[in-house]
Structures are given as C-alpha cells and as structure tokens.
C-alpha cells in the first residue's frame, strides 16, 4: 500500500468486501486514511439496477459517487 498510496479502494463484489472485512483489511485501510466503499460488479445486473443495499442507487451510481467523494479537479493526476 505504501507504493500506491491510494485515496480510495472500491470493492466490486460482495465476496471481496466480506473477505476484506473478516481479515481486518477494511479497518486497516480506514486507519491509514483510505476511503473504502462497495459497489456492484460491472458485469452484474445490479450495475444498472437500483438496490436498497446501495441506498437505492445502482452499482454504477455508487461507484461514481465514491469517486466524486474523493476526486476533485485538484486531485486529478
């Protein structure tokens, strides 16, 4: 993680989110100031369908909202 220094990590599957949570990765990322979010996988039907679990947003909308929270024009490479 030191080499990459991400501002945001998005988990795009329920399995990856559960494994990261169980292993303590989510807490470790948050402790270092990295934003952590979940979104539906782009190949799934939920990428385009709203979901209650994602606060009535589609996976795509959740992904873009996560990027919008972290990325501003001043942080673009």
How far apart are alpha carbons 44 and 24 in whole angstroms?
26
Specify whether the backbone of 8 is left (phi greater than 0), alpha (psi in -120 to 50) or beta.
beta
Specify whether the backbone of 6 is left (phi greater than 0), alpha (psi in -120 to 50) or beta.
beta
Residue 57 DSSP class: B
Say what the pLDDT of residue 16 is: 94
Say what the pLDDT of residue 29 is: 94
How far apart are alpha carbons 57 and 4 in whole angstroms?
29
Say what the pLDDT of residue 71 is: 78
pTM for this model (two decimals): 0.78
Does the pLDDT of residue 64 top 70, yes or no? yes
């Amino acid at each position: 993680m030191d080499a990459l220094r991400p501002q945001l990590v998005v988990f795009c599957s329920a399995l990856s989110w559960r494994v990261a949570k169980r292993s303590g990765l989510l807490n470790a990322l948050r402790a270092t100031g990295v934003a952590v979010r979940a979104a539906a996988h782009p190949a799934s039907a939920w990428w385009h369908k709203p979901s209650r679990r994602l606060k009535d947003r589609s996976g795509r909308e959740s992904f873009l909202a996560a990027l919008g929270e972290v990325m501003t024009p001043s942080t673009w490479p």
